[in-house]
Structure 1
């Protein structure tokens, strides 16, 4: 249980950092790319013993990290497009509702339990994610021509969680968790550098110190959000469908409370209903 709590805490710190990006005008793309290398470095030098980088391509999980690295960058880009076209609330809902994909994969692919309380808890959790993410009483609206972007964010985010769960179950040994996590970030960062090089050739690249500092601030909690999630998946006693539900809804709850406490965000009635449903959903799922 401690690992899932630490994963929720790390992911909630990421929320705070992103909020500060908007306040201080940090270039999100540049900071994200720096963050990947910082996260990679934290793992390589803090959680890996007897590191031999040349052996990484021979690891059975390496092809999966290539896919995850590409997904990390792609989903980020799609999230940015969705934000520009449909707003932050749409991105938030698409990202957090994606928990449905690893939850149902856990049930159908790994034959995890499907008790009544668990199913009700999952449904309440999904409703809670939606209700806590919207920022107006009217809910969210998406133009038909822009619908593909949040749909791809939903699918991409869900595939990331599902792929991590699959690799952890099938290929990643306990001593390789740190190396596995760091390799994902190294690949995502390398792809990000390619994007920056293209921007430089097009004359659109402007680097500054605050973007680098923003990447450092993001990279540390980002590494631990993945590391502790993988460690939680390895812990006995929790099915992946239960763990992903608690993780996503816990992040929603923690982020909402941080928003109220640190950023003086005001919640509408639907947000409060979502918080109540989130608590009930977690209790039902955790005790199913």
Structure 2
């Protein structure tokens, strides 16, 4: 699904998540921006579906590109290229999940990366806040989980939150980079801490990274936790007596249909829930030849 882009026009103008390359975007911006306006590009995180057109917009309008320090490398060299540069580390992590489609997925990632030319360009770390005008500002909130450098932008005066991929509409799910690619600070615990931050702020309107805006923030966060509870029950029911399973084999048993790259996200989330179930004393793990095996207690 295409990402959502947002434009704030003020004394300084901000383009949040310009998305994939789009020939019409520079033309639209020329129509909407005041003559000589200073434009800043703000990225909620370093995934190409949110930032690819940033470089063209920068060249056309002299814009400055900002992303959280933890995701600067993803944007400056390309998110998939960063993963591909860590082959041994990522391969070891996938092996621990029991993931059996390594070669297929690795080729798929390489093919996807080859479709994009990510120029190394100046990308700056986000400051704590950005002024829209003398009386209004965007507050930068570090909300890791989807990536280690994911952020949300809070327009406090209007109680609006640009959530990126942290909080999406109910027909979509946020995938975590930690369990998929071994990325630090992008695991389930990080994601849930970020959700609590947003719940405490309780904005009136969410403008997400994909899909339609929504306002039922508390209900949406509750839905996420209810879905997690249901998934944990399904995982426990997948075990036969005295059986030892990997995260990958559980994904297959639960009937997760995607293959290759998309299945990796399912396996990663199952891995996170397995760890949580072990902390709750429902499961026990052991490592055999680099593979983590799980069994019911």
State the TM-score, normalizing by the size of structure 1: 0.29
Q: Which protein shows a greater Rg?
A: 2
Higher percent of residues as strand: 2
Pick 1 or 2: higher relative contact order, CA cutoff 8 A, min separation 6.
1
Higher percent of residues as helix: 1
